[in-house]
Structure 1
Amino acid sequence: MGTGHYFWAIFYFTSLCSASLANNAKINFREKEKKVLDQILGAGKYDARIRPSGINGTDGPAVVRVNIFVRSISKIDDVTMEYSVQLTFREQWTDERLKFDDIQGRLKYLTLTEANRVWMPDLFFSNEKEGHFHNIIMPNVYIRIFPNGSVLYSIRISLTLACPMNLKLYPLDRQICSLRMASYGWTTNDLVFLWKEGDPVQVVKNLHLPRFTLEKFLTDYCNSKTNTGEYSCLKVDLLFKREFSYYLIQIYIPCCMLVIVSWVSFWLDQGAVPARVSLGVTTLLTMATQTSGINASLPPVSYTKAIDVWTGVCLTFVFGALLEFALVNYASRSDMHKENMKKKRRDLEQASLDAASDLLDTDSNATFAMKPLVRHPGDPLALEKLRQCEVHMQPPKRPSCCKTWLSKFPTRSKRIDVISRITFPLVFALFNLVYWSTYLFREEEDETVLPLL
């Protein structure tokens, strides 16, 4: 056997020995972790019922620092006034009783999956309606114990939280939904919650909400005092802005179209009664149906919302167009009645003229008294002549442009239609100007007030 073969045999043997030593070291290292856990959490050595001491081992309150990571926000419900969120919740505190030897830096931390092995803060979510842990495939929770006694608790949870809303500006509104966390039993003399320094709240980058946009979030403290003492509390205010494009397409534009369609009846002939009635009733029922559908998706609040003003005014315009046709129909019948009366009067005058001419023909030989050439000042005929002369001497009045334009339409019913063609669009345009300027300015004012909350 050559020298090369001896060299490869020695190298192979050395590799096997080093691998077996490494495996033994790993086994021994895992055994070290078990010994450390038994040493700090063994029976009679650690009591999870007793809270840790304060800062630097004093008798002050235990300080727990909190930070959360918002994974998703699934829905924001206007009817029930709640929202659902999934987050990773983390707490960190120091327990002097859990210090251990890190074996020259080789043992960075110990990991536990049973929260009842160590003392835990009694934190709860005060505005929670429903909540559950995630247990697929294994419970999404862990506890890390560091050599200096620091404890990190992390868990993934899903919560449905109450979110009281002010819907006066709906759908041009912004809503603040809070997440409140407080101690249930430990007062501030024993336990204090603080936000983690630096970045206490993180939000996933691709957070997407169908009808809202998360503009910003603010962290604050909300300690509460009761008959049993003062309790530490943390809160996160999430500021949501409602996406207006959905409501513009689904509500505002269709309402405008219905109002404009109701104006078509102003351009139809007065005699087209079935067409004008069916058009007015159809638009009115459609508008009422849309209004009821909008109200069905909102809670029954006692105040007036911005959408109520819009739908109410649009419904009024559609109803006004229907009433306008009723007025036109009444005026048309009145015009027909007057025209018939005039026709009868002309017939009577013509009949009287014919009778007078016949009488003149029969009495052509009769003698008539001569009229005086000079009349007295008190004579009625002289006064009538004088009055007619004064009238003719007065300068003629210039008719106004509106009267001149309306004189082209001899009947009152036609005048009502023509005036409605101009009045309804102008009033609706003025309403839009007032509506949008009012509510958009209100939105800006609320935006300046919200950071002060």
Structure 2
Amino acid sequence: MCSGHYIWAIFFFASLCSASLANNAKINFREKEKKVLDQILGAGKYDARIRPSGINGTENAPTLVYVNMFLRSISKIDDYKMEYSVQLTFREQWTDERLKFDDIQGRLKYLTLTEANRVWMPDLFFSNEKEGHFHNIIMPNVYIRIFPNGSVLYSIRISLTLACPMNLKLYPLDRQICSLRMASYGWTTNDLVFLWKEGDPVQVVKNLHLPRFTLEKFLTDYCNSKTNTGEYSCLKVDLLFKREFSYYLIQIYIPCCMLVIVSWVSFWLDQGAVPARVSLGVTTLLTMATQTSGINASLPPVSYTKAIDVWTGVCLTFVFGALLEFALVNYASRSDIHKENLKKKRRDLEQASLDAASDLLDTDSNATFAMPLVRHPGDPLALEKLRQCEVHMQPPKRPNCCKTWLSKFPTRQCSRSKRIDVISRITFPLVFALFNLVYWSTYLFREEEDETF
């Protein structure tokens, strides 16, 4: 029984000893890490103002900085200001021979710093940046890792608003290429060279959602620039965005088509319904003009014609044409009424003269008229019969489809105005359908041809 107690006491004492040794080892390990930091970054041992040496410690060779990034989100793409906003994790990696240290047999993988001014940093800047800021909640989102071989990894999370010059000729059937450019501000290529890190230098978050665009693809490239002060290293990322057409189809194209079709209702109203036809034409014209101005308000005032300008301009022309058609119908109606009144007056005068002549004949009872048995060549009745025979002897003409269709509307009061309405019922939809065919075939094919990346 006593031996059992001794065994448990020895086991408990051994566990306490091992825990204290482990704590001491941790304390000693942190102490060694502190000593390594003081050894490589201590006062008078490292100067952050001097750039690292080149490859293999070559003093005259430029420092190589490898860049990669992770696109976290793209918040907006502004057509009016021609800019876009992006949040990314930006990383740079280079080798500084002065920062080599003993890894304690592989136990010390890297050293972590949060103060960027403790070591030398590349003077990289974003050349097409408009606005930008760091993230400091809850702590500054930045770290520096120093590896035993002297390699330095710098990582920071930033948000940027970048300029994106756009070509809106095919708007809203367009694709836009927005770039992100990074360059050295003061070091020339003789001292500093930026390179893309091999193997997937740009990563994009999964399920990237944009309200009106889709990120189709991206491409990394180099964009070194030469100035009066020298040649500077530059990197760029080209992002290809495709505009989502469904939004514009619902908000612009379908409403414009509906307004054009509503303006055609005027062709089916009676010519005498002047207030109804005028109010319908003016209302659709004002609505179409408001729609056009609302579309242009969200776009920059560019000097060239956009695809949406062609669409709204033609739709506005069709609505205005429907209003002018009623003006023509009204004029034709009044002209037909005037002609019909003139014909009626002429018939009344002829009838009055015939009545007067018959009255004179009836009153002259002494006059006797002998009807000749043979008609003279100049006799009106003989001439009329001769014309009828010539008409019957002429060969029959081929029926004309248009004349046959228009003959359904006999000559009467306002017949010409009625025919204008009937012709407009067919002509306007046919011309609008032809315009749609030409418009969509032209801009869809141009979209495919202009898709260069």
**TM-score bucket of the superposed structures, by smaller chain:** over 0.9
CA-based RMSD of the aligned residues comes to 1.9
Aligned residue for 1:438, secondary structure, equals helix
User: 381-390 or 60-69: which moved more?
Assistant: 381-390
- Percent identical residues: 96
Q: Would the alpha carbon gap of residues 45 and 218 (structure 1) be closer, same or farther in structure 2, given more than 3 Å must change? A: same
Give CA-to-partner distance per residue, 1:314-354, whole Å, 9 cap, x none.
Answer: 00001111111111111111111112112112211211111
Q: Distance in 2 between matches of 1:439 and 1:328?
A: 36
Quote the Cα distance in structure 2 between the aligned partners of 1:21 and 1:49: 42
Residue-by-residue CA offset, 1:409-436 (whole Å, 9 max, x unaligned): 1350110000000000000000000000
Counterpart CA distance in 1 for 2:240 and 2:123 is 28
- For 1:24, the equivalent position in structure 2 comes to 24
Distance 1:288 1:445, change over 3 A: same
CA distance in 2, matches of 1:310, 1:36: 70
- Match for residue 257 of structure 1? 258
Deviation at 1:396, TM superposition (A): 3.6
Shift of 1:393: 2.9
Q: Structure 2: how far apart are the matches of 1:124 and 1:433? A: 49
TM-fit CA distance, 1:381: 9.8
Give the stretch that moved more between structures: 243-252 or 332-341: 332-341
Following the alignment from structure 2 to structure 1, what is the Cα–Cα distance between the partners of residues 383 and 322? 52
Q: Aligned-pair distance for 1:364?
A: 3.9
Q: Normalising by structure 1, report the TM-score.
A: 0.95
Q: Secondary structure at the match of 1:48?
A: coil
Instruction: Please identify, of 385-394 and 8-17, the stretch whose mean Cα deviation from structure 2 is larger.
Output: 385-394
Q: In 1, Cα distance between the equivalents of 2:399 and 2:324?
A: 31
**Residues of 2 paired with 1:81 and 1:168: CA distance?**
14
The change in CA–CA distance for 1:217 and 1:99 in structure 2 (over 3 A counts) is same
Unpaired stretches in structure 1, ≥5 consecutive residues? none
Structure 2 distance, partners of 1:273, 1:399, is 36
- How far off its partner does 1:206 sit? 1.8
C-alpha distance in structure 2 between counterparts of 1:399 and 1:353, whole Å: 39
Aligned to 1:447: 451
Q: CA deviation at 1:378?
A: 9.8
Residues 354, 383 of structure 1: alpha-carbon distance in 2 compared, 3 angstrom cutoff = closer
Gaps of 5+ in 2: none
Cα distance in 2, alignment partners of residues 209 and 220 from structure 1: 24
Cα distance in 1 for partners of 2:11, 2:84 equals 66
1:156-184: per-residue Cα shift (whole Å, max 9, x none)? 00000000000000000000000000000
1:344 and 1:398 map into 2 onto residues whose CA distance is: 37
The CA deviation at 1:11 is 0.6
Cα displacement string for residues 369-422 of structure 1 (whole angstroms, at most 9, x for unaligned residues): 98x888998999988886665455322423312111111113501100000000
Distance 1:373 1:25 in 2: 153
Q: For structure 1, which segment, 350-359 or 29-38, has the greater mean C-alpha deviation from structure 2 after superposition? A: 350-359
- In the alignment, the residues of structure 1 paired with residue 396 and residue 363 of structure 2 have an alpha-carbon distance, to the nearest angstrom, of 44
Q: How many residues align?
A: 448
Equivalent residue, structure 2, for 1:285:
286
Deviations 1:182-219 (A, max 9, x none): 00000000000000000100000021000000000000
Q: Provide the rounded CA distance (Å) in 2 between the counterparts of 1:136 and 1:385.
A: 110
Structure 1 range deviating more: 62-71 or 406-415: 406-415
Deviations 1:278-311 (A, max 9, x none): 1111111000000000000000000000000000
Indicate how the Cα distance of structure 1 residues 274 and 383 shifts in structure 2: closer, same or farther if over 3 A, else same. Answer: closer
Query: How has the CA–CA distance of structure 1 residues 311 and 87 changed in structure 2, closer, same or farther, with 3 Å as cutoff?
Result: same
The SS at the match of 1:356 is helix
Supply the distance in 1 between the matched residues of 2:199 and 2:39 (Cα, whole angstroms): 34
1:15 maps to what in 2?
15
In structure 1, the residue matched to 2:194 is 193
CA distance in 2, matches of 1:20, 1:51: 44
The whole-number CA distance in structure 2 between the counterparts of 1:279 and 1:386 is: 55
Provide the rounded CA distance (Å) in 2 between the counterparts of 1:378 and 1:410: 35
Q: CA deviation at 1:445?
A: 0.7
Distance, in Å, in 1 between the alignment partners of 2:118 and 2:89 is: 21
| Deviation readout 1:39-69 (Å, 9 max, x if unpaired) | 0011111111111111111130000000000
| 1:265/1:380 CA distance change after superposition, 3 Å | closer
| Partner SS state of residue 19, structure 1 | helix
Matched residues in 2 for 1:421 and 1:383: separation? Answer: 45
Equivalences for residues 401-412 of structure 1 within 5 A: 401-410=401-410, 412=416
Other-structure match for 1:426? 430
CA distance 1:71–1:251, change in 2 (3 Å): same
Q: Aligned-pair distance for 1:261?
A: 0.5
Instruction: Give the secondary-structure state (helix, strand or coil) at the position aligned to 1:218.
Output: strand
Segment of structure 1 superposing worse, 350-359 or 397-406: 397-406
The whole-number CA distance in structure 1 between the counterparts of 2:47 and 2:291 is 64
Cα 1:87–1:425 shift into 2, 3 Å: same
Q: Distance in 2 between matches of 1:391 and 1:282?
A: 53
CA distance in 2, matches of 1:14, 1:421: 103
- Tell me the TM-score normalised to structure 2 length: 0.95
Cα distance in 1 for partners of 2:430, 2:383 equals: 51
Query: Which residue is equivalent to 2:421?
Result: 417
Instruction: Pick which of 400-409 and 144-153 moved more.
Output: 400-409
Aligned equivalents of 1:193 and 1:308: distance in 2? 44
How much has 1:14 moved relative to structure 2?
Answer: 0.6
2:221 aligned with 1:220, yes or no? yes
Q: Tell me the SS of whatever aligns to 2:451.
A: helix
